[in-house]
């Protein structure tokens, strides 16, 4: 049994590193269906369930300290990649499609919460899931922390995210050959020449890590200091919003072009996932089926609204499909779907997905608080 907080953190860091390297180096097919982030959570949860981590004050304190400081730092780095000027060059059909995707997902969550009569725990869990499906896993953690989601509910949300996301990607890829049929149905017209001129807003590389880490931790400290004096709903929500604002402001500076922000943020994300998993002990998996079905119902409502919007605004299948997957799948899958239509359109998927880092937190908090209020 591990009782030392240092060994506890080292073990979680090892788990996060192991599955990340396994996904990157081996290219195993299983990672197409079960992402590394889910495996990291499952492994740390398994260790916790088996009693590997002792439940003492030292470990509880290091857990709270690490999570509190890494969360705003991660959000800040994620948002440095946003490029508003490129995003608004996407064109009418893509901007409308992206807006429709966000609104339809929000409607789906609210309708399903009423139909399934969510309790407080389920409402907060799906609020966190809304953050993920409007942005990414980082947004899920941010929204979940603000909504005070239990560790077990986090697990359910991750399972729903993984299962439904996998099926959704398969469906959207399956529909690619039928784009011309759908476009005739909606009377859509698309100018690929405009899209192909859009540059990628992301930065790649592994330079200046230490400076990025320093800046991120400074932002984390400043956000927490301000939140002790000014609160919006609660302290965690305030910290999340402040880190988001600082990240957006940073995206207008030279920090946006500093290579490595995405990689450092992803590292922090994996450690946070391992931390949350280490506190999750499932007593029963009986509710997983209900959660997955509720998630599937949200996607059905989302799809119906998207198709209706496509008919009204004469949108093509590419636009609504990539906008949908940019929200639900994020930067890991939206470019793949875009490339299935045309390799020159990969950047469109990247841009939409990166915008989700911003939309996901605000949208998730908005939807999450509605779900929690409906559950009262």
Per-residue pLDDT of 87-121, as tens digits, reads 777 778 889 999 999 999 999 999 999 999 998 88
pLDDT of 99? 94
Does the pTM surpass 0.75? The reply is yes
Q: How confident is the model at residue 336 (pLDDT cuts 50, 70, 90)?
A: confident
Residue closest to 276 by CA, chosen among 34, 43, 33: 43
pLDDT of 207? 54
CA distance 273 to 42: 10
Per-residue pLDDT of 24-60, as tens digits, reads 888 787 877 677 877 888 898 889 888 899 888 999 8
Question: DSSP letter at 33?
Answer: T
CA distance 158 to 140: 9
CA distance 323 to 139: 17
Per-residue pLDDT of 193-225, as tens digits, reads 444 444 444 444 445 678 888 999 999 999 999
What sign for the dihedral angle of Cα 211, 19, 326, 235? negative
Model confidence at 276: pLDDT above 60: yes
Per-residue pLDDT of 131-187, as tens digits, reads 999 988 888 888 998 888 887 788 788 888 878 887 898 888 888 888 889 999 998
CA distance 93 to 331: 20
Instruction: Report DSSP letters for 240-271, one per residue.
Output: HHHHHHHHHHHTTSGGGG-TTHHHHHHHHHHH
CA distance 136 to 357: 7
Q: Which residues have C-beta within 8 Å of that of residue 105, sequence separation ≥ 6?
A: 130, 133, 134, 298, 302, 327, 328, 363
């Amino acid at each position: 049994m591990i009782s030392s907080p240092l060994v506890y953190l080292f073990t979680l860091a090892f788990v996060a590193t192991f599955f990340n390297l396994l996904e990157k180096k081996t290219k195993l097919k299983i990672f197409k269906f079960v992402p590394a982030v889910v495996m990291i959570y499952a492994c740390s949860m398994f260790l916790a369930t088996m009693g590997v981590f002792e439940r003492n004050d030292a470990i509880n304190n290091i857990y709270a300290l690490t999570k509190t400081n890494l969360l705003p730092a991660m959000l800040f780095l994620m948002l440095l990649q946003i490029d508003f000027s490129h995003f608004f060059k996407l064109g009418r059909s893509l901007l409308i499609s992206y807006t429709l995707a966000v609104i339809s997902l929000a409607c789906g969550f609210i309708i399903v919460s009423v139909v399934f009569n969510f309790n407080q725990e389920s409402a907060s869990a799906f609020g966190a899931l809304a953050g993920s499906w409007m942005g990414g896993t980082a947004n899920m953690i941010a929204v979940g922390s603000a909504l005070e989601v239990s560790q077990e509910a986090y697990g359910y949300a991750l399972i729903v995210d993984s299962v439904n996301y996998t099926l959704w990607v398969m469906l959207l890829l399956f529909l690619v050959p039928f784009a011309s049929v759908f476009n005739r149905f909606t009377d859509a017209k698309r100018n690929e020449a405009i899209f192909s001129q859009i540059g990628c807003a992301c930065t790649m590389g592994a330079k200046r890590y230490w400076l990025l880490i320093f800046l991120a931790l400074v932002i984390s400290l400043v956000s927490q200091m301000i939140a002790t004096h000014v609160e919006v709903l609660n302290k965690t929500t305030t910290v999340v919003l402040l880190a988001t604002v600082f990240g957006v402001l940073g995206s207008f500076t030279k920090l946006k072009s500093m290579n490595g922000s995405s990689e450092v943020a992803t590292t922090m994300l994996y450690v946070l996932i391992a931390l949350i998993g280490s506190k999750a002990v499932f007593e029963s998996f009986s509710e997983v089926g209900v959660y997955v079905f509720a998630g599937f119902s949200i996607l059905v409502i989302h799809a119906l609204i998207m198709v209706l919007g496509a008919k009204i605004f004469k949108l093509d299948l590419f636009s609504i499909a990539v906008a949908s997957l940019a929200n639900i799948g994020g930067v890991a899958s939206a470019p793949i779907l875009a490339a299935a239509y045309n390799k020159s359109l990969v950047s469109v998927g990247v841009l939409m997905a990166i915008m989700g880092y911003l939309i996901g937190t605000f949208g998730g908090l908005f939807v999450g608080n509605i779900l929690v209020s409906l559950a009262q």
